[in-house]
Amino acid sequence: MYLHIGEEVMVRASKIIAILDRRLLQSDWKDTLPEVADKSIKNISKHDIKSIVITEENIYLSPLASTTLKKRMDTSMEELLF
């Protein structure tokens, strides 16, 4: 199953580690990441960043709210079960 995280980007749901609301993080949130993570940060947002999607390979800065991504994930899981 894949999750659309914005701007025509899809990630495999099983590879998602966390989806974080950008507003809940410090303004200098990048400083809390290891230096190696800088290379894997992908800003897919053309406007405001609303959430941060952390996968096994990359960190995506998404234009979609974390609540929107959660709803999409929940809907996809329900469809798989029924």
User: CA 58 → CA 5, 21, 35, 38, 78, distances in Å?
Assistant: 13, 17, 13, 10, 26
Query: Distance (Å, rounded) from C-alpha 37 to C-alpha 67?
Result: 24
- Give the percent of the chain with pLDDT over 90: 52
Confidence of residue 11 (pLDDT cuts 50, 70, 90): very high
pLDDT of 36 > 70? The answer is: no
Output the pLDDT for position 74: 86
pLDDT for res 24: 76
